[in-house]
Amino acid sequence: RQAQYRRLRNKPSVTKDGVEISLQMNAGLLVDLPHLVEAGAAGVGLFRTELQFMLASSFPRMKEQRAQYEQVLAAADGKPVTFRSLDIGGDKVLPYLRSIQEENPAMGWRALRLGLDRPGLLRTQIRALLMAAAGRDLKLMFPMVAEVDEFLLARGLVEKELKHLRRHGHGVPDKIRLGVMVEVPSLLFQLDELMHEVDFISVGSNDLFQFFCAVDRGNTRVADRFDPLSLAFLRALKRIVDKAGAAHVPVTLCGELAGKPLEAMALIGLGFRDLSMSPASLGPVKAMLRTLDAGRLTARLLPRLEPGHPEGDIRDFLKRFA
């Protein structure tokens, strides 16, 4: 198998009926970057910046953050990298960050919420990213956005930092694209407003599913109780991909779903054309999609999402189709 996947590495990522699918990889540390070439990924669709913070014994200084991002961009060698701002708090505790005990850390003071309440921290990270990407493209997205306004506040911080750097004669990125992770269900009902503001979105299906079904992603007792390939969740995903398409906003899906061949097949059937996954999943997903008739799948899958369709389990249908 491994040899078979390696052979696929430089083969086009195109379905049997000619639909191009961009396969990117998720990363969090510099040591992940060689996988870009080894696995043949088109870019880094999700760079989890909190990893550097979790490994440190005190807050990484601006210079250290900047050095890390510079190294990541250099290692990516021109391939696009989508950085995600800090997703700490909740269960990702930093020993050096004073926090309170929370009953529901996943829904607590984490990610962008923490960043907006401690703007010094977020601004430092933003400055490090802007400086690291001077003369190149910067793609940055914000996690755990529940209201469009939170994104506007975050964008405001980017604009402030940009002004500051320009005033002091520092280089800045040639192009900045700012996006939002769609991983809180409230965004499903603000998609029109969201698309107006963002340059791109990325679906964080791990958290989105957790909050959508109220099922703790880390709790084995309940983790398998609900199926992401169920009517409700597939409808939610379709809503996102449709709205993004109508607004011409690029959309990626970077949760674990993207890395499982059957689930990835369903995502392509729904209309996703850009998936980001752990490097080890690239081979299996590419092997799947190169044998897939995407048009036929879409034609057979979408009617199953309509009300009143008699056919039962969608996972069973997908398995039969596969």
Residues found near ligand PEP in the complex (CB under 6 A): 46, 48, 87, 183, 204-207, 254-255
- Phi-psi label, residue 175: left if phi above 0, alpha if psi -120 to 50, beta otherwise: beta
28 near Mg ion (CB under 5 A): no
| Shortest spacing between CB 90 and ligand PEP, in angstroms | 9
Q: Which stretch binds Mg ion (CB under 5 A): 39-47, 100-108, 200-208, 236-244?
A: 200-208
Residue nearest to Mg ion (CB): 207
204 near Mg ion (CB under 5 A): yes
| Shortest spacing between CB 199 and ligand PEP, in angstroms | 18
Give bridge partners of residue 303 from the DSSP assignment: none
Residue 298 binds which entry of Mg ion, ligand PEP, none, CB below 5-8 Å type-dependent:
none
Q: Which stretch binds Mg ion (CB under 5 A): 10-18, 206-214, 291-299, 310-318?
A: 206-214
153 and 116 Cβ atoms separated by less than 8 Å: yes
The two structure tokens encoding residue 66: 């900047």
263 near Mg ion (CB under 5 A): no
269 and 242 Cβ atoms separated by less than 8 Å: no
161 near Mg ion (CB under 5 A): no
256 near Mg ion (CB under 5 A): no
228 near Mg ion (CB under 5 A): no
150 near Mg ion (CB under 5 A): no
Task: Please report the DSSP string for 73-127 in residue order.
Answer: HHHHTTS-EEEE----BTTB--TTS-----SSGGGSSBHHHHHHHSHHHHHHHHH
Which one, 22 or 206, has the nearer CB to Mg ion? 206
Of 136, 108, 112, 135, nearest to 125 by C-alpha is: 112
Sign of CA dihedral 245, 197, 275, 41: positive
Residue 48 binds which entry of Mg ion, ligand PEP, none, CB below 5-8 Å type-dependent:
ligand PEP
Which one, 46 or 294, has the nearer CB to ligand PEP? 46
Rounded CA-CA distance 286/320 in Å is 19
| Shortest spacing between CB 113 and Mg ion, in angstroms | 13
Give bridge partners of residue 155 from the DSSP assignment: none
284 near Mg ion (CB under 5 A): no
Q: Which stretch binds Mg ion (CB under 5 A): 58-66, 74-82, 172-180, 182-190?
A: 182-190
Q: List the Cα angle 99/95/184 in 5-degree steps.
A: 55
According to CB under 5 A, which one of 32, 50, 161, 207 is a site residue for Mg ion?
207
Rounded CA-CA distance 320/225 in Å is 22
Give bridge partners of residue 48 from the DSSP assignment: 84
Looking at residue 200, its amino acid is: F
Which one, 158 or 258, has the nearer CB to ligand PEP? 258
Residue 254 binds which entry of Mg ion, ligand PEP, none, CB below 5-8 Å type-dependent:
ligand PEP
| Shortest spacing between CB 183 and ligand PEP, in angstroms | 5
95 and 53 Cβ atoms separated by less than 8 Å: no
Residue 318 binds which entry of Mg ion, ligand PEP, none, CB below 5-8 Å type-dependent:
none
Rounded CA-CA distance 134/306 in Å is 48
Rounded CA-CA distance 201/236 in Å is 15
Interacting residues toward Mg ion by CB under 5 A:
183, 204, 207
